Amino acid sequence: MIMQLSKSYNLEIVAPFTIEIEGNSYSFDCLIKGYGAKNGMVVDENYSKISPVKDKLLSLNYGFSCLNIYEALPDFQEVLDDWGKSV
């Protein structure tokens, strides 16, 4: 599904996405670059994985969203439009 999204919407997607924050490693379903925040949108279907580091992600110029990137999404363009292109 991620490869399909990448091709269909011309997206740069890192999957899985792992980031080190304060000496701890955190892994998420993916990072979608170019949308939402300067460094992209961290995506994971499980909010409990994002919640402990959400403020740190924001301070590092990442946005975040909770959705199942592995399921077919009816209109992913609507999601991208909601996030907006990052600068």
Give the pLDDT of the chain (87 residues) as one tens digit per residue: 788 889 999 999 999 999 999 999 999 999 999 999 999 999 999 999 999 999 999 999 999 999 999 887 778 999 999 999 997
- What value does the CA radius of gyration of the chain take, rounded to a whole number of Å? 12
How many domains does the chain fold into? 1
Strand partners, 13: 32
Domain that holds residue 16: 2-83
- Written as six digits, the tokens of 73 are 């999404």
Contacts of 46 (CB under 8 A, 6+ apart): 66
Q: What is the pTM of this model?
A: 0.93
- The type of residue at 13 is I
